[in-house]
Amino acid sequence: MFDTVRKHQRLMQFLLLVLIFPAFAFFGIQGYDQFFSDDGTVATVGASKISRQEYELAHRRQIEQLRQMLGERFDSSMLDNDAARAQILDGLIAQRVLLAEAIDKRIAVPDDQLRRAIAAIPGLVGSDGKFDIDRYRQLLRSQGKSEQMFESEMRGDLALQALPEAISQTTFVPASLVDRMIALGEQTREVRELLFRTDDYAAKVNPGDEQLLAYYERNAQAFEVPENARVEYLVLSGDTVARQIEVSEQDARSYYEQNKARYGTPEERRASHILVKVEPGASEAQKNAARARADELLAKLKAGADFAALARAESQDPGSAASGGDLGFFTRDTMVKPFADAAFALKEGETSGVVESEFGFHIIRLTAIKPAAQRDFESVRASIEAEIRAQKAASRFAEAAETFSNLVYEQADSLAPAAQRFGLQVQSADEVGRSGTSKLPREHPLNNPRLLATLFSADSIASKRNTEAVDVGGNTLISARIVEHHPARRKPFETVKAQVRQLVAHEEAHKLAVQAGEARLKALRAGEAPTGLSAPRTVTRAPSDAMPRAAIDAVFGAASESLPVFVGADLGERGYAIYQLTKVNLPDAAQVAQRRDTYRQQLQQVYAQQALGDYVESVKARAKIVRHPERLAGAESR
């Protein structure tokens, strides 16, 4: 939005913090301590440890998040430095101290908020728009968690998120600042342009062999073929073990009978309601007034008023009022207890009395009933067999993992014995480097940093034997071996001489363009007649092909008290440009009014991020934190 925002490093730090937060929506806070082994601690917050594995996962998440955000502009080196590593670790530390703060302040999460959060998890809503309890339970089984455990973790997660939300709501942006930022942000400037194109100076450049060789030596890395290898690998996963488990019909039927209640569809009811809302913390007088209003509306219904029309006019439930109060079909456990008890006590077409809940006072009309139903065995047999396999696989995987590890170690010259034992196929990949291969997804086991570090160790390269079985998480082991290794090498000068000539010629031509442009700029500022410039055009702060960032910075950074003025900008490979600034256009009152809300929201977000960052730093200052930065540099490659 603004240059100050674009250059504000604290916002980048906050972005890194925010990007890590979604991990908890899947694993849960307590789940992290259980999920990660104590394989090297990179920091401690009080008695809580942050493991190297946790840091590695956060680092990989950052890479994927930034890759999605930046697309082709993404460069992995953005996170491959000490400052980025420290920021990621600080994000993990911030999570821990905020969790402790949430527990200390006894932040409670209501059941209704928890239900909404769970329903918002991707993949848990069916094509009919309803929450799919079977998918939910399957998700929990895949994580090895009970409903109670998962929901407890979700409550902690939501409590953690409540603190930043509360802090962000305390910030205030002065109106004068909003209008000043609009004046700066919406300002346009009128310029004339004179370009000195690099290509126009190419004919004046004729580099010699000595100059080409010097460039080749100076930029040796640009002409390197990176170290890479052809690799064979074998993956053992929990799914592989599960597929090898046979489930008899008798076992499946027995499971069905023991868990019959799970395969029934509970009774659903459809109702409409009129809500007279009571805000949390309302006084007794306010509650009494709301109750009296609900009694008045009930009386109107008894006198023959149309329920849907009255709901549209009077209900204070924004989610259902517009549809005449209709809530659609729901089960008993999806509503708060007082509402559910009343709705499930009605007969179709009946209207309740006034019902009090934590949201206020309801009048409920039951419009339809879907009776409970039981699914037969054959319709759920496949899911039962999959569940039994998953349960048995959990216990058998440890045994399989030990056998797999022993086979790849004891018969280290080949992966074939382990593949044959588990019915797997040895796979291969070409051009695998120390940072993995772009031909496979980043999360693929072959791209795991710990495996790659082992695979490219000196011993592994020299012996071309199997690596140890590496646990990459998610009940997955991988072993790999180098079949053919290619060390990093520089392409011979003669094979790249033509490329070097082109690069040197372009570099020298750019220097000439800049020299010519700067000389002309000096002459124009000294009073030379401004000939050869383009026709005037109006530019905004938004960069474009015609006005790249360097040009925008030069034009809008120019003092405008005495016009016209001349400024220059190095446009990189394109050359050099001179701009004559002739006019500054400020937004009129109508533009300011139109943009005020947008700018206020954006500034509010910036202020809120700053406030949250300050709050996190204050909480961290009160916590006992021990960092081990020396363990971070190699963590991603272990």
CA-derived radius of gyration, the chain: 33
Over residues 601-633, the pLDDT tens digits come to 888 888 888 888 888 888 888 888 998 888 776
The CATH classification number of 3-170+600-637 equals: 1.10.4030.10
pLDDT by residue (tens digit) across 139-198? 777 666 677 778 877 887 787 777 777 777 777 888 889 888 998 889 999 999 999 999
Q: Rounded CA gap, 340 and 23, in Å? A: 34
Q: Give the residue extent of every domain in the chain.
A: 3-170+600-637, 188-220+492-585, 228-239+396-487, 267-371
How much is the average pLDDT of 545-574? 94
Mean pLDDT of the region 293-319: 94
Give the pLDDT confidence score for residue 32 in this predicted structure.
39
Does 524 score more than 70 pLDDT? yes
Answer whether residue 572 shows pLDDT above 70: yes
Say how many Å lie between the first and final Cα of the chain, rounded.
39
* 267-371 CATH choice from 1.10.10.10, 3.10.50.40, 3.40.1370.10, 3.30.720.200: 3.10.50.40
Nearest CA to 448 out of 480, 486, 495, 405 is that of: 480
Q: Write down the mean pLDDT value for the chain.
A: 85
Across residues 192-208, what is the average pLDDT?
95
Cα gap 470→37, rounded to integer Å: 14
Is there a contact between 116 and 319 (Cβ–Cβ < 8 Å)?
no
Report pLDDT for 142: 66
Q: Where does the pLDDT of residue 552 fall: very low under 50, low under 70, confident under 90, or very high at 90 and above?
A: very high
Q: Give the span between the Cα atoms of 598 and 430, in whole angstroms.
A: 51
**Would you place residue 262 in the very low, low, confident or very high pLDDT band (cuts 50, 70, 90)?**
confident
Name the packing angle between helices 147-168 and 133-143 (round to 10°): 100
Distance CA 8, CA 19 (A): 17
Which pLDDT score is estimated for 351?
96
Mean predicted confidence (pLDDT) in 543-562: 93
| Residue 496: predicted pLDDT | 95
**pTM of the entire structure?**
0.51
Average pLDDT of the segment spanning 63-82: 71
Q: Residue 386: its pLDDT value, please?
A: 82
Most confident residue range from 35-49, 264-278, 500-514? 500-514
Cα separation, 327 vs 304, in Å, equals 22
Q: Give the count of beta carbons closer than 10 Å to the beta carbon of residue 17.
A: 23
What pLDDT band is residue 478 in, cutting at 50, 70 and 90?
very high
Query: Do β-strands 575-585 and 565-570 pair in parallel, antiparallel, or remain unpaired?
Result: antiparallel
CA distance 422 to 241: 8
Task: Determine which helix (DSSP H) or strand (DSSP E) holds 50, and give its type and residue range.
Answer: strand 48-51
What does the pLDDT read at residue 11?
A: 38
- 1's CB contacts (< 8 A; 6+ apart) are 185, 599, 602
> Degrees (nearest 5) of the Cα angle 445, 74, 51?
45
As a whole number of angstroms, the distance between CA 466 and CA 483 comes to 10
User: Tokens representing 174?
Assistant: 């002065």
With contact defined as beta carbons under 8 Å apart, do 576 and 149 qualify? no
Residue tagged 């700029």 (tokens): 521
Asked if 228-239+396-487 and 267-371 have one fold, the answer is yes
Tokens of 177: 């600042």
Most confident segment among 389-393, 471-475, 524-528: 524-528
Q: What angle do CA 84, 87, 93 make, to 5 degrees?
A: 150
**Does the pLDDT of residue 326 top 50, yes or no?**
yes
How far, in whole angstroms, is CA 210 from its chain's centroid? 50
Q: What is the pLDDT of residue 435?
A: 87
Note the Cα 175 to chain centre separation in Å.
Answer: 33
Best CA proximity match to 20, nearest among 50, 54, 61, 55: 61
Cα–Cα distance between 281 and 421 in angstroms, integer? 65
Average pLDDT over residues 72-79: 65
Rounded Cα–Cα distance for residues 482 and 452 (Å): 11
Residues in the chain: 638
* C-alpha closest to that of 358 among 245, 277, 288: 277
Q: Are 353 and 339 in contact (CB under 8 A)?
A: no
More confident residue, 164 or 358: 358
From CA 398, how far away is CA 144, in angstroms rounded? 14
Quick check: 594 pLDDT over 80?
yes
Q: What percent of the chain has pLDDT over 70?
A: 91
Q: pLDDT value at position 152?
A: 79
The residue ranges of DSSP E strands in 240-399, in sequence order, are 264-265, 268-277, 326-331, 351-357, 360-370, 373-374
Would the pLDDT of 122 be above 50?
A: yes
More confident of the two residues 293 and 58: 293
Fold of 228-239+396-487: Chitinase A; domain 3 (3.10.50)
- What does the pLDDT look like over 409-451, one tens digit per residue? 999 999 999 999 999 999 999 999 998 998 998 889 999 988 9
Q: What is the pLDDT of residues 512-521, one digit of tens each?
A: 999 999 999 9
Residues 315 and 307: their CA atoms lie apart, in Å, by 10
Q: Is the confidence at residue 366, as pLDDT, over 90?
A: yes
